[in-house]
Structure 1
Amino acid sequence: MTTWQRAISTLGFAGLGFLLSCSVAADTPGIHILYLNDYQEDQQLVVDASAKFHFPPKVLSAIHHEIPLTFTTEIELNEIRTLLGIPFSRNRTQIVYRTELQYIGYNRTYVIANKRNQKVQSFDSLKEAMKTLGTLSNFRIADLADLHPDTLYAVKMRISLDQWQLPTPLIIDTLWSSDWQLDSDWRSIEIQSPKSWL
């Protein structure tokens, strides 16, 4: 096991605790990040993540009336340092992409279109569509060569509904209804890079 992998493995216990704490929260309406894990592969820092979507009745009704919903996924890698005893962070990587969900009534399928890679997928159920939308696997965020040794980093992720992409009458409704305030908030994990990549 490399020094980097040993450093990462120590984060497993914290991740397990967070997963258990989410078991109740994931049943309430909203977007919930169940886990966010990082590891090294092919000299890249990559992440796996999973989010669960639990829609209020208003949002479900909009979906089944064939109103497309746009979700924004944000991922950041920040370098954490201390200057004169004051902690500060510097952004090293920022990734933002949108995914559109739409129900097609005539053939009863749910379609998600990833605007980052232009990938379009169809599903027979909303549950399957949202599971795919909420899953990141082997998502590369940085070259290890670009990261400083013996430095603390934080990986952050958030998924939210982009209300401004809705039809105008619904945008007005979202300003007054908490049902449309779908935001996972930031989920963050810290990474201590090793003193040497060798």
Structure 2
Amino acid sequence: MKLKLILLVVLCCFSAHLRAVELLDLQQQIDGQELLITPQFEIQASQKVIDAINSGIVITFVYQAKLFQTIDWWFDAVVGSKIKTFEVRYFSLSSQYQLLHIQSKNKLSFITLKQLLQHLGQQTTFEFDANRQADYLETRIFLDKQALPSIMQLPNVFDADWNLNSDWQPVPISATKDASEQP
């Protein structure tokens, strides 16, 4: 009995660290032929991650979104999938944090890391074809530990302070037309 209780406490403590990234809301909108999805995540970096960024280590975050069509008798079909990758870095000479969107090479600068993480968690939009027959979507964001310098990868694999992962968050699709297009 004591072993079960200890195991339960350990699992609860571990799961508490996994909630360093939490889905607050998900905005959906149809604009012309596009379904716009904007997840609203709250990202709370641990002190180890903050120290690594402030020491000049580049941290990579990966955003994913998938559209699914429900199939009653089999696994649901993926009808759309998008990935966006961001790098977070600190420039000590200018005392600025930079957010780089890898695919578009778009760079944004911030005075504080808190501002950068807030922007990263709430200003990323995915565009999908609105004509796809999707019933729900799943989205997540995670810190890519494989993108860390090789010397840091192994020690941080099981470190709860580096587990910034929202897990997949399923949300039904309920998008409406843009107000400017409605009669």
Q: Which of these residues, 72, 77, 96, is aligned with residue 90 of structure 1?
A: 77
* Equivalence for 1:117: 104
Taking the aligned partners of 2:159 and 2:18, their CA distance within structure 1 comes to 16
Taking the aligned partners of 2:162 and 2:95, their CA distance within structure 1 comes to 24
Cα distance change, pair 137–103 in 1 and its aligned pair in 2 (3 A): closer
| Structure 1 residues 27-62: Cα deviation after superposition (integer angstroms, max 9, x where no partner) | 986111211122222132111221111111111111
Residue 133 (structure 1) aligned with residue 115 (structure 2): no
Residue 46 (structure 1) aligned with residue 1 (structure 2): no
SS in 1 for 2:71: strand
Taking the aligned partners of 2:172 and 2:161, their CA distance within structure 1 comes to 32
- Larger relative contact order, structure 1 or 2 (CA cutoff 8 Å, min sep 6): 2
Task: Quote the RMSD (CA, aligned, Å).
Answer: 2.4
SS in 2 for 1:81: coil
Taking the aligned partners of 1:121 and 1:139, their CA distance within structure 2 comes to 18
* Equivalence for 1:80: 70
Work out whether residues 82 and 126 of structure 2, in 8 Å CA contact, stay in contact via their aligned partners in 1: no
Cα distance change, pair 48–66 in 1 and its aligned pair in 2 (3 A): same
SS in 1 for 2:68: strand
Taking the aligned partners of 1:70 and 1:99, their CA distance within structure 2 comes to 6
Residue 177 (structure 1) aligned with residue 176 (structure 2): no
Taking the aligned partners of 2:64 and 2:58, their CA distance within structure 1 comes to 20
* Equivalence for 1:167: 149
SS in 2 for 1:88: coil
| Aligned length, in residue pairs | 161
TM-score normalized by the length of structure 1: 0.74
Taking the aligned partners of 1:189 and 1:159, their CA distance within structure 2 comes to 15
Unaligned runs of 5+ in 2: 1-15, 176-183
**Letter of the aligned partner of 2:147 in structure 1?**
Q
Taking the aligned partners of 1:69 and 1:140, their CA distance within structure 2 comes to 25
* Equivalence for 1:4: none
More strand by share: 1
Seq. identity, %: 23
| Structure 1 residues 42-91: Cα deviation after superposition (integer angstroms, max 9, x where no partner) | 13211122111111111111111010100010010011121xxx353101
Taking the aligned partners of 1:45 and 1:107, their CA distance within structure 2 comes to 38
| Structure 1 residues 87-113: Cα deviation after superposition (integer angstroms, max 9, x where no partner) | 531011111121000011111000000
Q: Which of these residues, 130, 136, 139, is aligned with residue 143 of structure 1?
A: 130
Taking the aligned partners of 1:109 and 1:192, their CA distance within structure 2 comes to 38
Work out whether residues 63 and 142 of structure 2, in 8 Å CA contact, stay in contact via their aligned partners in 1: yes
